[in-house]
C-alpha cells in the first residue's frame, strides 16, 4: 500500500462514501475522478441510479480550506453543522462548503430532501449557514468541472444515471476534509430526481 498522502486522502473519502477508491493506473488526466459512490450503498436508502461523483484534491496550497476552517471555528458556528455559502460579484450561482463528516446530514436534509419533515426551528438549531462574498479561487470551479464532466459522460452511457458532482479537499498537514458543491449542480440534480 502506497504511503502517499494524496492517495490516502482519496482512500479516506472513498471509505466515507462506503466504496473504494478508483484506481486509474498511470492515467492522471483530467477526465476521470477518484470516487464514485452509490447513494443507496452510502446511506442505505435512495435510488440505485443515484451517485456521488467526487473529485479529490490534497495539497498544501488549498487556502480556501483555511478560510472555511476559520469560519467554522467562530463562536456562532460552534456546536452546529457549518455550511459556507461562497459568493462572488458577477457569479450568478454560489458555491457551498461543509466538512465532509457533515455531508451525509446536509445531503439528507437539504439535497435529497429526506429531511423535509424537519421544522425550520430544528434546522436553525442544527445548522449555521454563513455567506461570504469573496474572490473564489478558479481551482474550485476546475475541480467541480472535472467531476461534472465525468458525470456527463456517465449520463451519456446510461440515461438513468443521476449524479451529484462534488470536490473533496484536504490541506496538507491539516485535519479534516472539506466538501465543495455548486448551486448549479444542485439545481441540475434536483431536476433529475423523481421524489
Average pLDDT over residues 77-105: 90
User: What is the percent of the chain with per-residue pLDDT over 90, rounded to a whole number?
Assistant: 47
- What pLDDT score does 2 carry? 47
Pairwise CA distance, residues 88 & 17, whole Å: 30
Cα four-point dihedral sign 42, 46, 48, 51 = negative
Average pLDDT over residues 70-74: 92
| Residue 110 dihedral angles phi and psi, to the nearest 5° | -110, -40
Q: pLDDT class for 121, splitting at 50, 70, 90?
A: low
More confident residue, 134 or 192: 134
Q: Pick from 67, 66, 187, 82: which is nearest to 133 by CA?
A: 67
Average pLDDT over residues 76-104: 90
Q: 23-57: per-residue pLDDT in tens?
A: 765 555 556 788 999 999 999 887 788 999 999 99
Question: Is 90 exceeded by the pLDDT of residue 144?
Answer: yes
- What pLDDT score does 118 carry? 59
Q: Pick from 143, 139, 111: which is nearest to 127 by CA?
A: 111
More confident residue, 146 or 32: 146
Strands 95-99 and 178-182: antiparallel
Beta strands in the chain (DSSP E): 35-38, 50-59, 81-87, 95-99, 127-133, 162-171, 178-182
Amino acid at each position: 500500500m502506497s504511503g502517499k498522502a494524496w492517495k490516502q486522502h482519496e482512500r479516506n473519502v472513498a471509505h466515507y462514501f462506503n466504496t473504494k477508491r478508483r484506481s486509474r493506473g498511470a492515467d492522471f488526466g483530467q477526465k476521470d475522478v477518484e470516487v464514485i459512490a452509490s447513494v443507496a450503498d452510502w446511506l442505505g436508502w435512495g435510488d440505485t441510479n443515484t451517485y456521488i461523483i467526487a473529485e479529490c484534491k490534497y495539497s498544501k496550497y488549498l487556502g480556501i480550506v483555511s478560510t472555511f476552517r476559520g469560519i467554522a471555528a467562530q463562536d456562532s458556528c460552534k456546536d452546529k453543522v457549518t455550511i459556507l455559502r461562497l459568493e462572488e460579484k458577477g457569479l450568478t450561482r454560489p458555491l457551498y462548503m461543509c466538512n465532509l463528516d457533515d455531508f451525509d446530514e446536509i445531503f439528507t436534509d437539504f439535497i435529497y430532501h429526506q429531511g423535509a419533515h424537519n421544522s425550520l426551528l430544528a434546522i436553525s438549531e442544527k445548522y449555521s449557514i454563513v455567506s461570504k462574498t469573496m474572490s473564489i479561487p478558479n481551482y474550485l470551479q476546475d475541480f467541480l468541472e472535472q467531476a461534472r464532466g465525468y458525470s456527463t459522460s456517465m449520463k451519456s452511457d446510461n440515461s438513468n444515471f443521476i449524479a451529484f458532482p462534488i470536490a473533496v479537499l484536504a490541506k496538507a498537514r491539516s485535519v479534516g476534509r472539506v466538501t465543495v458543491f455548486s448551486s448549479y449542480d444542485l439545481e441540475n440534480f434536483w431536476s433529475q430526481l423523481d421524489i
